Structure formats: C-alpha cells, structure tokens
Amino acid sequence: PEIVELIKKDPLSEDILATAVYKGYVVGSSGLKTATVQIGADGSQTLTLSLGEKIGDSEWVVTEINPEYVLVEAGEVERKLELK
C-alpha cells in the first residue's frame, strides 16, 4: 500500500524514479505524442504521459517527449527519463 500511495502522490519521487524505464512513445493522428514509462521494481506500474500533462497529484509536468528521453519539470527542477 505504501508504494501505491507514493505513486499517486509523486510518481517521480527519487524512490520511484530509480526504477523508472522509458519504453518509447507514439504519435497519434492528431500529432499528440504519448510516452510510456514503467515504474516499480518489477515494472508493474505503467504511466502513459502526454505533453503538458501534470503527473498524478504531484507538481511534475511533462515538458518534452522525444525518441531518446522524456523531460519532466516541477518548478525549476528537471528530470530526464532516458530510453532503455
């Protein structure tokens, strides 16, 4: 239960980010990019993120999606999730 609550509150906390794996992205017919990120030690949780989206109840916002990485920001802090 603790990990589930942490994911809901801040899916990109240091504990969660340590297990995050960027799996890739798709571009829809409207041009909207969505990225897939797996989190959790066993990759059991999947986040589907779109540009400009606020993540969970956190302050993290997706600011860039490209073939190599997803960039998220909260205030002046950035985190880059690289393709693995």
The per-residue pLDDT for range 12-69, each reduced to its tens digit, is: 666 666 677 899 999 999 999 999 988 777 777 888 999 999 877 778 889 999 999 9
Cα–Cα distance, 23 to 39 (Å, whole number): 11
